[in-house]
Structure 1
Amino acid sequence: MIRNKKMDKEKMRQSNLFLILRILKERGSLSKTDLSKITKLSLPSVTSIINELEEYNLISLLGQAPIKRGRFPIKYKLNSNALYIIGVTIQSESIKCVIINLNGDIQHYLSIPLPTNHEPAYVLDKVSNLVQKVIAESGINQSKILGIGVGMHGIVDPINGVAIYPPHLGWEHIPLSEILEDKLNLPVLVDNDCNVLTLAERWFGKCINSDSFIVMNVDYGVGSGIMVSGNLFHGTNYGGGQIGHLTVSENGPKCSCGNFGCLETLVNENALLNGINKKLKQGFNSVLVSLMDNGISLKDIYVAATKEDQLSIQTLEEAGRYLGVGVSSLVNLFNPQQIILTGSVLVGEEFITIPLKDTVNKTALKTNTKNLKIETSDLGDKADVIGAATLWVDSLFNGHLQIDDYFSKEGIM
């Protein structure tokens, strides 16, 4: 019984430490009195927690805040440079690596093309070398790095850090965490690329104040990350969010999954480019004809659309309508507060989002769209790799780490 009481007391201590830390992360500088009012903890309890967090170097004294009467209260803030986190993404065309602080500020960033040799050992050697290069060039001591987060496309087991099936690489059941931990001597967290984008929006993007939202990513594939009541939805076998494999055209192209007419076969980057090239070869009139020899890009299609090129406009609007079908399905199933759109295909945003929203408004339940916001991300082209690092931000500020296992009184262990 005494042991259980000690365990409960320790659990409460850990919970309160992370509660104060998270509030300072989300609200900025606050006094002990502010924290006591927000948390409903007594002032002596808050003082004890503040003292401990200062010893761990996770918060710092900001100074006194001027008020009209009485003593100036002393304010505290998160020490955003107390530690750093590395993010890595292994995408269909590139490997990216970034190191950020606790506020998501980029300290150093590098990327390399994905090697043509997709053997796991070869690719992960490239990842390891890139991580070591980022650490060296950043000038940050490895002892101040909390861990590495990895974002990987396809089906991922985040509990065991295993890439179950990334279709673009052809891997099966590769223990990413174990391999990279052995190579780099740092703890590694792994999740699906859309899930890490979702965490990036939750901590640094447009969903800081939302606990139920969906991020839909459209580039070489189509996927979604789903946040339900503040928690990522992974599904029983970690296959949740695979909206790209929703059948939207029974007579459509064959997908990498083996089915026909999946959403991603109609709206991903290659689908749009192949569709445009096919129609140009068939004789469709377009300003893009002159670009065929050098290769047409998504940006070319968008620029042509702004010049009222009908083929380009029709291509982007059709993609928007198909995406609207996918978004509508997600809205009907999960009834989120927000839908965030991201990915390379959104370069032609205005030509895609208008038909997308029109389709959602026509086909989704009215009760589910009444207060729904559909927006594009503003985190930029590094959102995925920042999101990978955010696996550790989320774990830290949600209290999933045991503070004594990761930190000493001088800082990170």
Structure 2
Amino acid sequence: MEKQDQLLMKKQNKNLVLDIIKNKSPISRMEISKITGMSPTSITRIVHELHEQGFVRETELVTSGVGRKATLLDVYDDVLYTIGVEIDRLIVKVGIVNYIGEIISFESMTRDVTENYSDTLEKLNNCIKELMTEKDIRTEKILGIAVGLPGFIDYKNGIVKVSDQLGWKNANLANDLKKHTGFEVIVDNELKMKIVAENFMGMAKDSLNAVLVGIGSGIGSALILNGEIYRGESNNAGEIGHTVIDPTGNVCSCGKIGCLATYISEAAILADSRKVKDVQSIDDVFDSYRNGESWAINILDRTSTYIALAISNILCLYNPEVIILSGNTIKKFPEIKEAIEKKCDLYIWEPLKEKVKIVYSMFTDRGVVLGAAIQAQNTLLDLE
């Protein structure tokens, strides 16, 4: 047991040193020693091992100041790559991401609503191979693939239990995509992937407690609590779309009455709009609002009210530092931001207002892809 404990500690120390170099480079060995409390001898040994494995290099820069100059350390950005994938109802996105989190190649493809599961996997496999060829990336450099998609996901086994948007049920996506590509695959809900990107370099960077709310074809959220993704017992933590807000309200696709999604989702907005006017898309509703049509103003005013109520409930339950709003509704209809903020001021419990920041995602179309690739690296990288 003692030997096992020592091996585990050595592995943890090695990971710690690599993380410090990656996040604080260029940095000297002495600075790493001060940060970690490890001896300079231990740091030198670990750095040597990381150099031998191809992760760490000495830069041409040296520290300035009085005394002996120390060579600074950096990481190789091309030591490994991960592939991030987003699959949505009408679009599939693929990106190759290097070790320091830069998307070096990206492709977006349309997806027909009638496209079946096998066709989507074949399309994905072909796209991945094309991007690798285009950037001349060898197979052994790819650590793995991570996929983000809407639905109820068995994260541990990589199974899509149910995705209403894609029409998939009990799809063994991780195993099936691995058969196509030969790479290790992890699968998760798209918002959980996106909050990883927000925590890595977005609006939740360095936050220990944050919530991402996605508003579009449905409404859902993802949570980081104490620096980790909070999943709940079955990876469904954050599924606020099926919280009941009106037991005498609208019928939801899940079979219940009065779910939040039946008031906020694009489908719900369209259904109510079509009672008044023959609109073809959500864009038509937004245009009607901009044209000053009272029915559209009333429907979208109600939408902003329910969004604010959802934010208020999330704050009372989790008390995060930051709530990030994202999704198609926010992107296509930025006018709703002001209405949400005014209603948040009205509905949020006073003691919670002082600390929380309500912000908007800085990612437009690549957040899920980046977050998925970062999650693949976090999950699959195992330093010996």
Matched, 1:215 2:202: no
Matched residues, percent identical? Answer: 28
* Structure 2 residue aligned with 1:226: 223
Matched, 1:353 2:337: yes
Superposition pairs of residues 63-74 of structure 1, within 5 angstroms: 63-74=60-71
Give the distance between the partners of 2:65 and 2:117, measured in 1 at CA: 63
- C-alpha deviation, 1:126, in angstroms: 2.6
- C-alpha deviation, 1:319, in angstroms: 1.8
User: What TM-score do you get using the length of structure 2 for normalisation?
Assistant: 0.92
- C-alpha deviation, 1:337, in angstroms: 0.8
* Structure 2 residue aligned with 1:402: 382
Taking a change above 3 Å as real, the CA distance of residues 42 and 165 of structure 1, as seen in their structure-2 partners, is same
Matched, 1:375 2:359: yes
Deviations 1:50-86 (A, max 9, x none): 1111111112222233423112221112222221110
Give the distance between the partners of 1:60 and 1:303, measured in 2 at CA: 55
Give the distance between the partners of 1:306 and 1:5, measured in 2 at CA: 69
Name the aligned partner's letter for residue 207 of structure 1: A
Name the aligned partner's letter for residue 153 of structure 2: V
For residue 178 of structure 2, the aligned residue among 170, 178, 181 is 181
Give the distance between the partners of 1:138 and 1:277, measured in 2 at CA: 48
Name the aligned partner's letter for residue 304 of structure 2: G
Matched, 1:200 2:197: yes
- C-alpha deviation, 1:35, in angstroms: 0.8
Give the distance between the partners of 1:260 and 1:118, measured in 2 at CA: 31
* Structure 2 residue aligned with 1:327: 311
Matched, 1:340 2:337: no
Of 169-178 and 336-345, more deviation after overlay is shown by 169-178
Taking a change above 3 Å as real, the CA distance of residues 275 and 139 of structure 1, as seen in their structure-2 partners, is farther
Superposition pairs of residues 113-152 of structure 1, within 5 angstroms: 113-152=110-149
- C-alpha deviation, 1:96, in angstroms: 1.3
- C-alpha deviation, 1:6, in angstroms: 1.7
Give the distance between the partners of 1:355 and 1:154, measured in 2 at CA: 28
Matched, 1:107 2:104: yes
Deviations 1:105-138 (A, max 9, x none): 2221112222344543333223222322322233
Matched, 1:254 2:251: yes
* Structure 2 residue aligned with 1:393: 377
Of 105-114 and 151-160, more deviation after overlay is shown by 105-114
Q: CA RMSD of the aligned region, Å?
A: 2.3
Where 2:21 maps in the other structure, the secondary structure is helix
User: What TM-score do you get using the length of structure 1 for normalisation?
Assistant: 0.86
Q: Is the 8 A contact 2:60 2:72 kept in 1?
A: yes
Give the distance between the partners of 1:150 and 1:39, measured in 2 at CA: 34
Give the distance between the partners of 2:261 and 2:25, measured in 1 at CA: 41
Superposition pairs of residues 233-312 of structure 1, within 5 angstroms: 233-281=230-278, 295-298=280-283, 311-312=295-296
Q: Is the 8 A contact 1:223 1:242 kept in 2?
A: yes
Where 2:169 maps in the other structure, the secondary structure is coil
Matched, 1:92 2:76: no
- C-alpha deviation, 1:361, in angstroms: 3.6
Q: Say how many residue pairs are matched.
A: 384
* Structure 2 residue aligned with 1:55: 52
- C-alpha deviation, 1:312, in angstroms: 4.7
- C-alpha deviation, 1:308, in angstroms: 5.7
- C-alpha deviation, 1:277, in angstroms: 4.4
Q: Is the 8 A contact 1:304 1:312 kept in 2?
A: yes
* Structure 2 residue aligned with 1:46: 43
Give the distance between the partners of 2:173 and 2:290, measured in 1 at CA: 43
Give the distance between the partners of 2:295 and 2:101, measured in 1 at CA: 40
- C-alpha deviation, 1:310, in angstroms: 5.2
Taking a change above 3 Å as real, the CA distance of residues 102 and 309 of structure 1, as seen in their structure-2 partners, is farther
Where 1:322 maps in the other structure, the secondary structure is helix
Give the distance between the partners of 2:22 and 2:299, measured in 1 at CA: 43
Of 22-31 and 371-380, more deviation after overlay is shown by 22-31
Q: Is the 8 A contact 1:331 1:369 kept in 2?
A: no
- C-alpha deviation, 1:272, in angstroms: 3.1
What are the ranges of 5 or more consecutive residues in structure 1 without an aligned counterpart?
282-291, 405-413
Name the aligned partner's letter for residue 35 of structure 2: I
What are the ranges of 5 or more consecutive residues in structure 2 without an aligned counterpart?
none
Name the aligned partner's letter for residue 17 of structure 1: K
For residue 10 of structure 1, the aligned residue among 7, 10, 13 is 7
Name the aligned partner's letter for residue 323 of structure 2: I
Name the aligned partner's letter for residue 360 of structure 1: C
Q: Is the 8 A contact 2:113 2:166 kept in 1?
A: no
